[in-house]
Structure 1
Amino acid sequence: MNSGTSELAWFKSSYSGSQGDSCVEIAIAEQAVHVRDSKDVARPAFAVGRAEWARFAGFVAQR
């Protein structure tokens, strides 16, 4: 599910620092949320379903 990710609109969290340290970027598509390493965008991204991403984000928000 990582083919065709170059045309996606990638963004980092607003909590991300400006120093370029460890961070991920996400791109929200119709069927999935794509995730990649912001320091190595040439590496393949991975994708998860939108419902699974929502559960993950909800879990993280509770921490």
Structure 2
Amino acid sequence: MMAAWHLPQASPVAVIPCCVDLEVFSPPASPPAKAFALAYLGSIGTWYMLDEMLLFLPACEG
């Protein structure tokens, strides 16, 4: 990966895998009736259209 970004081999870069450890987390065999989950992972700030995200929330709740 470092070669693709043309970084020197000595660059202090680490790849952090993003995944779910199924030994720790396991979803239920069948979801509960009317299950609703909404998650936002990331930063919140003016560049991320916070107002629009908050306006969108009622549409998600149905």
TM-score, length-normalised on structure 2? Answer: 0.22
Q: Which one has a bigger Cα radius of gyration?
A: 2
Name the structure where helix makes up a greater proportion of residues.
2
Name the structure, 1 or 2, with higher relative contact order (CA <8 Å, separation 6+).
1
TM-score by length of 1: 0.22
